């Protein structure tokens, strides 16, 4: 056999070996994936058989805000939601005398704010539904209790009629109403406890009631849904390159 023939034979043999190895590696990879998928399916089956709910992902929303909402924040500054274009903001209703707001709702918002505080492109907006009592001066007091720095968290005073229609039409909130069974100012108003996420292009991306889960002691489900809201925020930031 000539030198050239030997070289060709060697390279041919190497090519065959490489081809065989690729087939083996691909087969092993397919086997690992099949086992992983089977294990995941079996895990879900066991969870469901045990009566544990498998939590579905949040229903994605893509509702464009077509109107602005202007008000006065806790520092007495005139601001509006469209000032936040280019940022993702988390929106919620509250009022300072509400016992539930000072309990579960405060916990929900502050936990989300803490989890997302590392990104300057995330902002929080908690708007009062009791603007006659919750003046900017009162909101300043609430901001100190809640740890709300106006640099990344507005406590907002907006005229009641404007706020009601805006939240209904733009953010799909249920109208807040007077509680006919109220016992004091602490439970005087019923309002939507949903948490809304609005992206950098002023689109409503998600709205979830985390408060209800805490109130009903559904702690595990609460943690899952809270993580999903955080995921929606981070996804919106990633899409915007923030």
Per-residue pLDDT of 121-136, as tens digits, reads 999 999 999 999 999 9
Q: How many domains does the chain have?
A: 2
- For the chain, the average pLDDT equals 83
Longest dimension (CA), the chain: 103
What digits encode the pLDDT tens for the residues 97-127?
887 777 788 999 999 999 999 899 999 999 9
Is 46 found in the same domain as 111?
no
Identify which has the larger pLDDT, 165 or 43.
165
Position 48 scores a pLDDT of 47
Is 68 found in the same domain as 178?
yes
* CATH number of the domain that residue 165 is part of: 3.40.30.10
Position 192 scores a pLDDT of 84
Is 4 found in the same domain as 78?
no
Q: For residue 189, list its beta bridge partners.
A: 178
Is pLDDT at 204 greater than 70 in this prediction? yes
Is 33 found in the same domain as 106?
no
Is 211 found in the same domain as 133?
yes
Is 212 found in the same domain as 184?
yes
Is 26 found in the same domain as 105?
no
Q: How far apart are CA 85 and CA 156, in angstroms?
A: 17
Is 130 found in the same domain as 19?
no
Over range 87-106, report the average pLDDT: 88
Q: How far apart are CA 11 and CA 1, in angstroms?
A: 15
Q: What letter does residue 204 receive in the DSSP assignment?
A: E
**Domain end point (choices 32, 54, 76):** 54
Position 17 scores a pLDDT of 63
Is 162 found in the same domain as 128?
yes
Position 47 scores a pLDDT of 45
Long-range contact pairs involving 129-132 (C-beta distance under 8 Å, separation at least 24): 129/93, 129/94, 129/95, 129/160, 129/163, 129/176, 129/189, 129/191, 130/95, 130/96, 130/97, 130/188, 130/189, 131/157, 131/158, 131/159, 131/160, 131/163, 132/160
- The SS3 of residue 89 is strand
Among candidate residues 113, 104, 108, 194, the one with its CA nearest the CA of residue 150: 113
What digits encode the pLDDT tens for the residues 40-69?
455 445 544 554 455 677 777 889 999 999
Could you tell me the sign of the dihedral formed by the alpha carbons of 144, 148, 149, 150, in that order?
A: negative
Is pLDDT at 8 greater than 90 in this prediction? no
In this prediction, residue 190 has a pLDDT band, given cuts at 50, 70 and 90, of: confident
**Domain end point (choices 54, 74, 92):** 54
Over range 138-156, report the average pLDDT: 96
**Burial label, 228 (beta-carbon count in 10 A; 0-12, 13-18, 19+):** middle
Query: What is the extent of the structural domain holding 118?
Result: 63-239
Is 190 found in the same domain as 84?
yes
Is 76 found in the same domain as 50?
no
Specify the pairing of strand 88-94 against strand 122-128. Answer: parallel
Is pLDDT at 28 greater than 80 in this prediction? no
Is 194 found in the same domain as 222?
yes
């Amino acid at each position: 056999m000539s030198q050239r023939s030997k070289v060709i034979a060697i390279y041919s043999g190497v090519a065959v070996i490489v081809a065989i190895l690729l087939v083996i590696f691909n087969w092993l990879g397919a086997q690992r994936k099949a086992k992983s998928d089977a294990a995941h399916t079996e895990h879900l089956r066991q969870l469901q058989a045990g009566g544990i709910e498998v939590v579905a992902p949040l229903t994605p929303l893509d509702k464009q805000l077509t109107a602005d909402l202007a008000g006065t924040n806790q520092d007495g500054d005139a601001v509006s939601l469209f000032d936040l274009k280019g940022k993702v903001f988390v929106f919620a209703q509250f009022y300072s005398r509400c016992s539930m707001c000072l309990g579960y709702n405060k916990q929900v918002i502050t936990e989300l704010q803490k989890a997302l505080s590392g990104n300057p492109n995330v902002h929080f907006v908690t708007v009062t539904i009791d603007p006659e009592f919750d003046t900017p001066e009162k909101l300043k007091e609430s901001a100190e209790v809640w740890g709300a720095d106006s640099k990344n968290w507005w406590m907002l005073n907006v005229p009641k009629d404007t706020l009601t229609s805006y939240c209904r039409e733009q953010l799909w909130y249920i109208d807040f109403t007077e509680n006919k069974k109220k016992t004091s100012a602490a439970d005087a108003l019923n309002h939507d406890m949903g948490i809304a996420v609005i992206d950098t292009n002023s689109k409503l991306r998600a709205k979830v009631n985390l408060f209800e889960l805490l109130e009903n002691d559904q702690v595990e489900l609460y943690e899952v849904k809270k993580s999903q809201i955080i995921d929606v925020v981070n996804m919106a930031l990633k899409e915007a390159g923030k």
